[in-house]
Amino acid sequence: STAKYFAPAMMAGFMKQHPDLEISLWVGNRAETIAAIETHHVDIALMGHAPVYVGVSGGKDSQALAYRIQAHLGTIGHAGSRVLIHSDLGVVEWKDSLPVCERLAKRLGWDLIVLRRSAGDMMDRWEARWASSLERYSTLSCVKIILPWSTPGMRFCTSELKTDLICRELTKRYPGQKILSATGVRHDESASRAKMPIASPQPKLSARGCQGMNWNPIAPWSTPSVYDYIALKQEPLHEAYTVYGSTRVSCAFCIMGSAGDLKASASCPDNADIYRRMVRLEIASTFALQGAKWLGDVAPHLLTDEEREGLAQAKRRAELRVQAESRLPAHLLYTSGWPTCVPTEEEAQLIAEVRLAVADILGISVGFTTAGEVIARYQELITLRQAKGKGE
């Protein structure tokens, strides 16, 4: 199998002694057998010269991935298209990220496709989500106020602004073809990524008669192997690593960033404006960027006196909001098909009281603040849901 993963530890040591060689090594253990099975369809696609797209972020993993795939495609005589693709998240990105991708493309001799969400960047998406949350709460289209941020369990930052954009672009460029979309996902990055296969079908690459696969060929590589390989290629790293000491490159202030990486990002003057803009959304919404961890606490010296006071008040208001909403019984909270029942008179009165409390905490106006209005609204929502179901 030509597309088996590239035995990182063995490969890195061997290549230090033989930097002129590009090799694919593997030893016969269970993990590698699984890898061979997972990449069987990748092999078939490569034999058919399927187009290969490498997603690049400016980070070390995508740099190593791009070089390794270029070498591998050359070794097997792949004659199909190979392109780097970068989804630009806008002002939340490190300023060095796109230049790193551009330099990488130039050194490889590949084209670089840069995509951007037409409806606005990642920060626009978060701010629009908060505005929508307020509107939905005002009209009792949700029972609890909805946070503006993406979360580890709801990563629309990745799905909407990266995966969806990239898959649409790929199927538009190569209708009716098999497509390989390669990423620098690695197993030791997180518990969830440790479970990700070397290759898997990508349903979002099935439009326009296409058949597509996600391909994560360096998934088994360790972090030292990645750095060793980049050093062998003499590829300059992103300034986030070399100047500011970050361990990862993603958004400047990622929803899953470590405390150390957030501090590293805050130490970069280029990131000060987006830091303050994100903290202002924390203040307005009373929702911390990372659950109970407030971005505003990472670098308070970058905030104005007014913003620091606003953050302190936001924390107090957040506690009051949580206390108010904790009064709602579990069976009235959101679940699939919400609302599933009409509240009793007593429950409706409680909902109305909580809504008034939350509105006061957030400084907003809301409707449906009496028991009768709440019951009528629930009846209306259930009728609308039933009518929609019949329409389907």
The arithmetic mean of pLDDT across residues 156-163, rounded, is 92
Going by pLDDT thresholds of 50, 70 and 90, the confidence category of residue 32 is low
User: Percent of the chain beyond pLDDT 90?
Assistant: 82
3-state secondary structure the chain: CCCCCCCHHHHHHHHHHCCCCCCCCCCCCHHHHHHHHHCHHHHHHHHCCCCEEEECCCCHHHHHHHHHHHHHHHHHCCCCCEEEEEECCHHHECCCHHHHHHHHHHHHCCEEEEECCCCCCHHHHHHHHHHHHHHHHHCCCCCCCCCCCCECCECHHHHHHHHHHHHHHHHHHCCCCEEEEECCCCHHHCCCHHHCCCEEECHHHCHHHCEEEEECCCCCCCHHHHHHHHHHCCCCCCHHHHCCCCCCCCECCCCCCCHHHHHHHHCCHHHHHHHHHHHHHHHHHCCECEECECHHHCCHHHCCHHHHHHHHHHHHHHHHHHHHHCCCCHHHCCCCCCCCCCCCHHHHHHHHHHHHHHHHHHCCCCCCCCHHHHHHHHHHHHHHHHHHHHHC
pLDDT, tens only, 204-248: 999 999 999 999 999 999 999 999 999 999 999 999 999 999 999
Higher pLDDT: 282 or 192? It is 282
In this predicted model, what pLDDT tens digit does every residue of 270-289 receive, in sequence order?
999 999 999 999 999 999 99
